[in-house]
Amino acid sequence: MNNLIAIPKGEIVIAVRAPKRDIPKYLDREYIKQKLLDITNHEERMFITFLWMSGVRVTEAINVKKRDINPRDNVVKVKWLKSRKWNERNLPIHSHLSQMLAVYTGGMNLDDRVFNFTRQRAWQITKKWFDTNPHTFRHSFAVNYLRSEGNIVNLYRILGHSKIQTTMEYLKIVPSDLSKELETIGFF
């Protein structure tokens, strides 16, 4: 894809390079673990935990219903609206998160939404406790996954990206970690 932008200057059109995308903002695993302990509201803590441990988009999170959770297989069906069409995918989740969701949704009806928040409320919650937005937890999940020896192709599937190039943006963050790993290898 061409990175040039046409900027009119009188009669002349000047082509300049579009600015490169910034490295995704993310939060460190230890920071998230510590801050989660400070959250006093159980619903808000569960919502942020779900964002952090699943890597879902905020719209996907607020559309999950109890019936979409399969604790036996550790899978959640997530849905999102794109171009006026509903898309869905089965998302594998960590067994610990699956157990937490089973307990959290225990008294709910099958058609109840797990998190009865609007997108705006979700932004307020993450701003209140972490001074960031919900999408930062998606980035944090991706970085944590790759740092834990995760495979980029599997991450691409988990995040539900339409192009693997989008997922590969996270590799800009992780190479600095790889240089530390290289120091552990003996050459002499």
The more confident residue out of 87 and 180 is 87
Q: Of all residues in the chain, what percent carry a pLDDT higher than 90?
A: 54
Assess if residue 186 is contained within a domain: no
Alpha-carbon distance 91 to 180, whole Å? 32
Task: Confirm if 133 and 141 have CB atoms less than 8 A apart.
Answer: no
Alpha-carbon distance 173 to 133, whole Å? 19
Amino acid at 87: N
> What is the model's pTM?
0.78
Structural domain containing residue 114: 23-176
How many separate domains does the chain show?
Answer: 1
Q: What is the pLDDT of residue 107?
A: 92
CATH number at residue 92: 1.10.443.10
Average pLDDT over all residues of the chain: 84
Assess if residue 70 is contained within a domain: yes
Backbone angles phi, psi at 78, to 5 degrees: -110, 145
The more confident residue out of 120 and 154 is 120
Alpha-carbon distance 149 to 143, whole Å? 10
